[in-house]
Amino acid sequence: MRHARIKADGAGYYHCMSRIIERRFVLGDAEKERLLNRMRQLAAFGGIEILAYSFLSNHFHVLAYVPEKRDISDAELIERLGHIFQPYRVKQVAVQLKDLRDQGLDRAAESVKASYTYRMHDISEFFKALKQQFSQYYNTREGRRGTLWEERFKSILVESSEDALLTMAAYIDLNAVRAGLVRDPKDWRWSSYGAGTGGDRGAREGLQRLMEAAGLGHMAWGEAREVYRKRLYVQGQEKGVDLEGRAIRQGFKEEVVDRVLAEGGRLPVETLLRCRVRYFTDGLALGSRGFLNELFERYRGQFGKNRREGAQAMRYGEWDGLCTLRDLRVDVVSGG
């Protein structure tokens, strides 16, 4: 059953994920760079903050903050248009708005502004533009037609609490570790943590903003990096050895996870984050019981009439009080 997208009433945090059609591996380094740059440009235009991200060869994850919609001045519109349009196009819009204002045609000027501002402060418009524009670029380059993405992007509304935000961000930044591409998340340059560790200013600012959003206050990069690394790294979790006898740190194999679950064991959060957890991609919303019950009442018509409560306990692990809006029962935790 396809659920309607759950959105915040005003500002909100979203974990969004999208996958290439048929899970084809088309995102090489050049494609990831293109996607990352366009994501940042569209975010700057739309007033959206990118807190964490991870790009792999056939999908990507993003944790974004979307502020409440507000009116913007002509000057701010022109500034934002500079992030997505060439200078000549920006100048055309600026001249058009000025001429209309000078003639006293404010209603016409506002109509021109609205043709751009409707795309701002909206998670759906942001990802729609990102995916469409990347598809156009890729299809033109490769001489192909048709859709490039598997389906509409998935989004999970995340509560603005320390546990919910940092847990979700860690899940995103550990993507390459779960896929066995790197042993340490700092070594994946196409993630916010890896890029930030490598000196990328935008990634660093996003993670610093993440700390603020989680209620930990403003931190210099060095402090933010250490706090976040503690959240990411699993101390003492060693899985096998390589030919030189060094410990291999990567996600658990599916059979190992299945065995632990079959034995009734409950995995700690730091271990679960190294596995694939559907709550983070298919759960509709994630946060505390109070946060989810409030969402449930707002979206009551989308759920069965016999359901009494919105918050659903997250199974198979010690989740430190986090709940989900959608009660998943199949393949909740796996090593893939």
At residue 5, the pLDDT reads 81
Give the residues of the chain that fall short of pLDDT 50: 234-239, 247-250
The residue behind tokens 């659903």 is: 312
At residue 203, the pLDDT reads 95
> How many Cα atoms sit within 13 Å of 182 on the Cβ side?
17
The candidate with the shortest Cα–Cα distance to 83, out of 44, 137, 33, is 44
Q: Map the chain to HEC letters.
A: CCCCCCCCCCCEEEEEEEEEHHHCCCCCHHHHHHHHHHHHHHHHHHCCEEEEEEECCCEEEEEEEECCCCCCCHHHHHHHHCCCCCHHHHHHHHHHHHHHHHCCCHHHHHHHHHHHHCCCCCHHHHHHHHHHHHHHHHHHHHCCCCCCECCCCEEEEECCCHHHHHHHHHHHHCHHHHCCCCCCHHHCCCEHHHHHHCCCHHHHHHHHHHHHHCCCCCCCHHHHHHHHHHHHCCCCCCCCECCCCCECCCCCCHHHHHHHHHCCCCEEHHHHCCCEECHHHHCCEEECHHHHHHHHHHCHHHCCCCCCCCCEECCCEECCCCEECCCCCCCCEECC
The residue behind tokens 């389906």 is: 151
At residue 237, the pLDDT reads 42
Q: Whole-angstrom Cα distance, residue 81 to residue 42?
A: 9
Q: Hey, where are the domains in the chain?
A: 16-23+152-334, 74-117
CA dihedral of 118, 145, 37, 182, whole degrees rounded to 10: 130
Amino acid code (one letter) for 318: E
